[in-house]
Amino acid sequence: MKKTAPFILAILCLSACSGSSDDDHDKEKATVANETGQLMPLPKDVLYATKPLISSKLYSRPDFKASTVAYFDTAQQVHILDTANAMFAKARIQQDSTTYTGFVPKTILPERE
């Protein structure tokens, strides 16, 4: 027992010192969701997630004449952040390892029940 006590003490100390951030917790939830077939939990600022009805652009402002931030298609998941504008929804998409935030026309989003 005397030989294992320092080892156990070291393990307990390392366990207590290694804090878990919210990001680590979110990754754990995503992994569990992926392995169990459940839906991945959405970030707190996301109202809902959807896939667009047609391919479109993510605009820098809620205006069709605004510069294009990114292009996306119907396979792309779109996180809706705000729907206050009459014609556009503030949205976030992720392509490869880059996250883009901008505005999408509400007409390309499926109706919510």
pLDDT score recorded for residue 33:
46
Residues 72 and 27 in one domain: no
Give me the average pLDDT of each 10-residue run along the chain (113 residues). 56 50 52 57 90 96 97 95 96 94 96 79
Residues 16 and 55 in one domain: no
**Strand, helix or coil at 36?**
helix
Residues 32 and 65 in one domain: no
Structural domain range at position 13: 4-36
pLDDT score recorded for residue 101:
96
The closest alpha carbon to 109, from 55, 69, 65, 63, belongs to 55
The Cα–Cα gap between 22 and 81 comes to 20
Residues 29 and 52 in one domain: no
Say how many domains are in the chain.
2
Residues 20 and 57 in one domain: no
The closest alpha carbon to 62, from 83, 45, 33, 77, belongs to 83
**Strand, helix or coil at 11?**
helix
